[in-house]
Amino acid sequence: MSAPRAGLNALIAQCRKLEAALPLREEPAMSAAMHRFVADMDARRAPPGMWSPLVLAVLVMTGGLGVGIGVLSLLLRGAGPALAAFALVLVCAVTALALAIGVVAFMGGHAFGLVVLKRLAWGLIAVGSLGVIAWTQGDVRAVGPVVALVAGLGAWLVLNSNGFYVFAGYQMARRYMERRDRAGF
């Protein structure tokens, strides 16, 4: 599945276009190319880019922990250790939940999962950027958000890697072919 434009937004647009065509009869040229692509990926021991969801998950969870540490350090003095620890756990749980939703939807061949993963990476970058601003002002408590920034940038790089594009295309093509086969086309 090659996108006419480069970038994650183009991949999301291609996936949405393919999802929109799911209940319809496909074009013969699209069918032959998609069958060859999926057959080539299935013939391999592991499809290219299969590493990308795992690396993405590690980076996003590291970034979530960085955000949580930043929240913990902000709340520790004013709100007390119990509320600060609760906030740390809450931030990590929300990050894990959003990551799980994104990865499960992505692995199921839904463009929605790609959008969630993109927003997670951008959220980590945004929060981390605020931490870098605080760190440049001498606030040592901003170490957590700096970790979030680095992890968010790493997640963004993974989302924009060729391996991730191939794997996302493989997941979408597989879903499309399975749905088409069930519909009897």
DSSP secondary structure, 112-146, as one string = HHHHHHHHHHHHHHHHHHHHHHHHHTT-GGGHHHH
pLDDT tens for 90-145 read 999 999 999 999 988 887 777 888 899 999 999 999 988 888 887 777 777 678 88
Q: What is the chain's mean pLDDT, rounded?
A: 79
pLDDT of residue 99: 92
pLDDT tens for 20-51 read 766 555 454 456 555 555 556 566 666 777 78
For residues 128 and 66, is the Cβ–Cβ distance under 8 A? yes
Distance CA 85, CA 76 (A): 8
> What does pTM read for this prediction?
0.76
Site of tokens 């740390």: 88
pLDDT of residue 4: 43
